Structure 1
Amino acid sequence: MKAFLVTSAATGSVDDVTPPQPRSGQVVVGIDHVGICGTDVSLFAGDPARLAQLDLSFPLRLGHEWDGRVIEVGEGVDPAWLGKRVTGDTMLGCGRCERCLDGRHHLCAERFEIGVRGNWPGALAERLLVPVAALYELPDAVTAELGAMVEPGANAWRSVHTAGVHEGSRVLVLGTGTIGLLSALFARAEGAEVHVLGRDREALELARSLGVTGAWTQDALPALTWDAVIDATNAASMPQFAVDVVEPGGRVVLVGISGEPSLIDSRVVGRKDVTVVGILGGSAGIQATIDAYASGRVDPLPLISRIIGLDEVAAALSGARPMKSSGAPKVLVDLAR
């Protein structure tokens, strides 16, 4: 089968590889669409410290935002899965440890992450091996493009849910990337007044078109009461900024990760009685995201900048072909192209 392989730092190509064979409890999914995100760009660059932290070695198979159709099932898997349209959880816990057994498999010390951790092959290929326990069926209302947006949507749903957003809340989202804009959409769906802070003028204009109340640069941000602040940036200064501007007693959610340590003054946290929460993965939000897309409460399609073929992935990851278009941050890969 065809797969995109990263063979060394910043070097990748489409090659022929051996198709996966499902073992007990596993299925093979014929991949339809795959999303490219900042994690893929970072891993493509091949930072040795990052690869070591994630237990990765070349060649890499990237791709953790995906959808497709089940085409093979392994021993012990209900054959009714065959032919179903699915997406799946990126986080694959061991299933035996205390964290897995109490529902925290996304924090399992021995977990694999599809296309991200432990060299579990990712979805930038014609076929993907997945444990059946990680699958989620997609209803007809969730198109192939929407299906590939479920994983980032689940991270955004968790961010909004953890922030305690409800009708009448005023929420500030930091960042106009995919997770930031999706967080804004999910917060709006809860009835909140949503504002977005960013630097890219086109992305801020896109945010306004999505119905947010305000889209601001940092120097123009009004002094309003922010019940919750969601940091979806990779800027080391933003976690402290979030703590500084959130209303006393409010909540700060950190879903973005900076490339260098981002320090927070715990004195400010304590004196303001602020709750600060980190988000790792969207496991707990997958079904809620599917439901939101299926009902039309949240529509992520305006965030898609372009759809490319597998042979264009290297250019997208390297920056030779820009990811953004008119502020839209997300590139999808169509395996049928």
Structure 2
Amino acid sequence: MKNTEAILVVPGTMEIKDAPVPVPKDDEIMLKVEYVGICGSDVHGFESGPFIPPKDPNQKIGLGHECAGTVVQVGSKVTKFKPGDRVNIEPGVPCGKCKYCLEGHYNICPDVDFMATQPNYRGALTNYLCHPENFTYKLPENMSTMEGALVEPAAVGMHAAMEGGARLGKKIVILGAGCIGLMTLQGCKSLGATDIVVVDVMPKRLEMAKELGASAVINGMEEDTISRCKELVGELGADIVFETAGSQITAKQAPQIVARGGRIMIVGTIPGEVPIDFLKINREVTIQTVFRYANNYPMTIDAIASGKFDVKSMVTHVYDYQDVQKAFEESVHCKKDIIKGVIKIEDAE
């Protein structure tokens, strides 16, 4: 058994290096990684380094946190899994002791150990990794490990939809049709919503939104987003507006689109300050940020396995592990063509 890991040597350069084979603790499983999704945060890390730079300049930086594979070994106290089980992992391990964890909001635990970021910066782009049993999930027989790797971004969309109150009868606008926007679309649909308008500037993404069930799409480069949204959802505006693009432009548009008493859900990571015209939302509009997910993996796995949530169709590019540098370079430079890229991890030679 041999292990390797893809390391961010400097921004813009990934290298695959030999690594020790990890040994699972008593409460951990050891996973043979098969697929890793490329997240927008990974792409940012590749371009500019981690969102939160490590204190130690010599800290080894791994990328990737969306992964699935097969259990090859279990710790002495593990009871839910055995070698050969196909699983995925929830990449954030909270402390389990703070007020947020005890209240069930472990996604905002200040001491969470989340893969590819602080405190350990360990990435999923490796042959083998260890992970706690409590944050590992068995995949149904009809679900591939590639689909299992995409449960993580799907859970982001599901969590956003649930927090926003998506359901039948709600008029919804989603600003941004990247991976998370499309996952949010599917999360809303799985909760019963049918009147969903999706806005983006890339035709390929808008085509995918239509395939995945958007009732209408708007190309923000060709149409006036605000007036066109009002035409589609009604002059009063949308009950829920999801900002998933992580853009100041779309964040400024959201208050122009939301209805009185509606909700603006900030799902994207928006850089810098965004001025808000409170006169546009001073009729009991709620603005809420969304951070990752909490307690959403089981329902998201069920939604994918049942066919309510289609993650497989979103995969436009599959890269070999040895081509990890190419995978990230294309993720940076070919955004108009890539909806979701994944990396297939082969055995170490």
TM-score w.r.t. length of structure 1: 0.92
CA RMSD of aligned residues (A): 2.2
Q: Deviations over 1:152-178 (max 9, x none)?
A: 000000111111111121111110100
Q: Counterparts of 1:22 and 1:138 in 2: how far apart (Å)?
A: 20
Q: Deviations over 1:275-307 (max 9, x none)?
A: 111111123321111010010011122211111
Q: Tell me the residue number matched to 1:5.
A: 7
Kindly tell me: are residues 44 and 198 of structure 1, through their superposed partners in 2, closer, same or farther at Cα, counting changes over 3 Å?
same
Q: Tell me the residue number matched to 2:195.
A: 193
Structure 1: where are the runs of 5+ without partners? none
- 1:27-38 pair list within 5 angstroms: 27-38=29-40
Q: Tell me the residue number matched to 2:341.
A: 331
The AA in structure 1 aligned to 2:302 is: D
CA contact (8 A) 2:80 2:133 kept: no
Q: Is 1:212 equivalent to 2:222 in the alignment? A: no
How far did 1:69 drift?
1.4
Kindly tell me: are residues 162 and 197 of structure 1, through their superposed partners in 2, closer, same or farther at Cα, counting changes over 3 Å?
same
Identity of aligned residues (%): 26
303, 312, 315: which one aligns with 1:301: 312
Kindly tell me: are residues 323 and 18 of structure 1, through their superposed partners in 2, closer, same or farther at Cα, counting changes over 3 Å?
farther
Secondary structure, aligned partner of 2:309: coil
CA contact (8 A) 2:88 2:145 kept: no
CA contact (8 A) 1:56 1:119 kept: no
Q: Tell me the residue number matched to 2:240.
A: 228
Secondary structure, aligned partner of 2:62: coil
- 1:157-306 pair list within 5 angstroms: 157-189=158-190, 190-218=192-220, 219-221=223-225, 222=228, 223=230, 224=233, 225-269=237-281, 271-306=282-317
Q: Counterparts of 2:121 and 2:76 in 1: how far apart (Å)?
A: 20
Q: Counterparts of 2:81 and 2:91 in 1: how far apart (Å)?
A: 22
The AA in structure 1 aligned to 2:312 is: L
The AA in structure 1 aligned to 2:104 is: G
Q: Deviations over 1:53-110 (max 9, x none)?
A: 7988642111111111111122322274332211121221112222222222221211
Q: Tell me the residue number matched to 2:145.
A: 144
Q: How many correspondences in the alignment?
A: 334
Which range moved further: 282-291 or 149-158?
A: 282-291
Q: Is 1:95 equivalent to 2:96 in the alignment? A: yes
CA contact (8 A) 1:3 1:126 kept: yes
The AA in structure 2 aligned to 1:334 is: K
Kindly tell me: are residues 53 and 280 of structure 1, through their superposed partners in 2, closer, same or farther at Cα, counting changes over 3 Å?
farther
Q: Tell me the residue number matched to 2:325.
A: 314
Structure 2: where are the runs of 5+ without partners? none
Kindly tell me: are residues 294 and 56 of structure 1, through their superposed partners in 2, closer, same or farther at Cα, counting changes over 3 Å?
farther
The AA in structure 2 aligned to 1:316 is: A
CA contact (8 A) 1:125 1:335 kept: yes
Q: Counterparts of 2:55 and 2:317 in 1: how far apart (Å)?
A: 29
Q: Tell me the residue number matched to 2:112.
A: 111
Kindly tell me: are residues 263 and 24 of structure 1, through their superposed partners in 2, closer, same or farther at Cα, counting changes over 3 Å?
farther
The AA in structure 2 aligned to 1:304 is: V
How far did 1:316 drift?
2.2
Kindly tell me: are residues 80 and 200 of structure 1, through their superposed partners in 2, closer, same or farther at Cα, counting changes over 3 Å?
closer
CA contact (8 A) 2:30 2:128 kept: yes
The AA in structure 1 aligned to 2:124 is: A
Structure 1 stretches of 4+ moved >6 Å: 53-56
Secondary structure, aligned partner of 1:237: helix
Secondary structure, aligned partner of 1:284: coil
Kindly tell me: are residues 320 and 107 of structure 1, through their superposed partners in 2, closer, same or farther at Cα, counting changes over 3 Å?
closer
How far did 1:235 drift?
0.7
Secondary structure, aligned partner of 2:197: strand
Secondary structure, aligned partner of 2:296: helix
Kindly tell me: are residues 47 and 333 of structure 1, through their superposed partners in 2, closer, same or farther at Cα, counting changes over 3 Å?
closer
